[in-house]
Chains A and B, each alone.
Chain A
Amino acid sequence: MDELVQRFLAGDRRALARVITRVENRTLEGRDYVRALFPHSGRAHIVGITGGAGSGKSTLTGALATELRRREKTVAIIAVDPSSPFTHGALLGDRIRMQDVTMDPGVYMRSMAGRGALGGLAPAIADVVAVVDAFGFDYVIIETIGAGQDEVEIAGTAMTTVLVNNPGTGDDIQALKAGIIEIADILVVNKADHPGADVLVSQLQALLALSPGDQRRPPILKTIATRGEGLAALADAIDEHRAYLEASGQLAAHRAEDARHQLMAITQQLILEEIRKAAPEVVIATLTERIASRELDPHTAAEELAARVLPRP
């Protein structure tokens, strides 16, 4: 077996970091690492923490890790920040807010850039999560900016999704209406020492009261992450949610759904790669131009491209 995999399985953190890089780079070699390590995954509880920019997600994530360490659990953190769509570079600053835990041998923290991955960010994250899970952490926390489809899909990987809100940002309720609230298993009102925290809590309660009565109502918790306040309650709520998922049979259903998502996403990606191999860039460029000049519609063009790898009916 590969020497790196052996070191990984022996608990070498450098090997973990190296494997993540290879997996993140979506190379063929990276796939082999996922293949080798996947059988070791499936034990960690995967928590997603999402919320707007400046909501205090990073600080909350660091404080949650501290609380979980107090409970003698090990924690891996994957903090995702966007890549520039123009330069593909990224500035990853989440470690700044997690200084307290980054020297703890029971914590591994990794910054990840969105990279505009082919086939979406979620499959790339799912692979990285499987790898850190296989390393043997009790909890894996994925931190993302809660702003769109990617986050909803990442929530699919997480078993428990925590949505972070702040008082005094009136648009939050609007954002919630747009659909993000449905993915939340726990609602957190962070910066609860700021004015308007209680108003926001009642607004959230009112919003949840509109959901059908037979559904589980996500708890609403107040935290002040910078002071570590409310974190014990958050850790309890995460464990309670896990227990609820297990007791209701939803954990198994969640795993099945997640597996299906991954299967479809990776298959889609493989087909795209085949098309890229079968069609030289000039063919794609020509089709693109023809669509842009309205000479060809996008559906016909895509069928033409797909026909290079698909058998004609």
Chain B
Amino acid sequence: MSTATATGKIRVLIAKPGLDGHDRGAKVVARALRDGGCEVIYTGIRQTPEMIAEAALQEDVDVVGLSILSGAHLELFPRVVEELKKRGLDDVLLFCGGIIPEEDTEALQKLGFKAIFRPGTNTQDIVKFVYDNVKK
């Protein structure tokens, strides 16, 4: 799977904004990306948009993946995007996953999310998505 050499590894931040405490999905995705050869920074549950953006900046990640199950994505995701932009991180690849209704797809795409992965997704599709879309 891994085509990258010791130089130029893809760095991915997997984060859970908001108050829901179920991070199995986030961990499964983190693990799949690790096995796909990425360097995955996992920050744990209950992250504020500021914490996520600050972690993305400090870790200089290429990709930010947000996981959410609480239904608060349309409140929280725009704030994450805003905090990222505030820090000049407008070139990171964004994707999200979790319990996200179909009707919210367009709103999230407009925010800059390049993909939405819902329950039942094959994790290999997520790995492929990352490798296909990161500008290296």
Interface residues of A (CB under 8 A from B): 13-14, 17-18, 20-21, 25-27, 83-84, 87-93, 95-96, 99, 102-103, 108-111, 113, 115-118
> How many A-B contacts at CB < 8 Å in the complex?
93
**Cβ of A17 and Cβ of B50 under 8 Å apart?**
no
Interface residues of B (CB under 8 A from A): 1-2, 4, 6-9, 11, 30-31, 33-44, 50-51, 54-55, 57-60, 87-89
Q: How far is the CB of A136 from chain B (nearest CB, A)?
A: 16
**Cβ of A89 and Cβ of B57 under 8 Å apart?**
no
The 3 closest A-B pairs by CB, nearest first: A96-B44, A17-B60, A89-B34
CA distance A87 to B39 in the complex (A): 10
CA distance A118 to B5 in the complex (A): 11
- Of A17, A93, A95, chain B has the most CB atoms within 10 Å of the CB of A95
Residues of A within 8 A of B41 (CB): 92-93, 95, 111
CA distance A302 to B60 in the complex (A): 39
CA distance A89 to B36 in the complex (A): 7
Given A13-B57, A89-B35, A110-B59: A25 touches B7 (CB 8 Å cut-off): yes
Closest to A20 in B: B60
CA distance A18 to B11 in the complex (A): 12
Additional pairs, 4, CB under 8 Å, beyond known A87-B35, A115-B6: A25-B8, A89-B37, A91-B31, A91-B34
Q: Can you list 18 A-B contacts (CB < 8 A)? A: A13-B57, A14-B87, A14-B88, A17-B58, A21-B60, A87-B35, A87-B37, A89-B33, A89-B40, A90-B39, A90-B40, A91-B42, A95-B44, A95-B55, A95-B59, A102-B58, A111-B59, A113-B39
Given A14-B87, A102-B58: A91 touches B6 (CB 8 Å cut-off): no
Residues of A within 8 A of B39 (CB): 83, 89-90, 92, 111, 113
Residues of B within 8 A of A102 (CB): 51, 54-55, 58
Given A99-B51, A103-B54: A17 touches B59 (CB 8 Å cut-off): yes
Select A89's contact among B2, B6, B60, B87, beta carbons within 8 Å.
B2
Given A87-B1, A95-B43: A113 touches B57 (CB 8 Å cut-off): no
**Cβ of A89 and Cβ of B58 under 8 Å apart?**
no
CA distance A116 to B11 in the complex (A): 16
CA distance A117 to B59 in the complex (A): 19
**Cβ of B51 and Cβ of A91 under 8 Å apart?**
no
**Cβ of B87 and Cβ of A88 under 8 Å apart?**
no
**Cβ of B34 and Cβ of A87 under 8 Å apart?**
yes
Select B58's contact among A13, A27, A84, A96, beta carbons within 8 Å.
A13
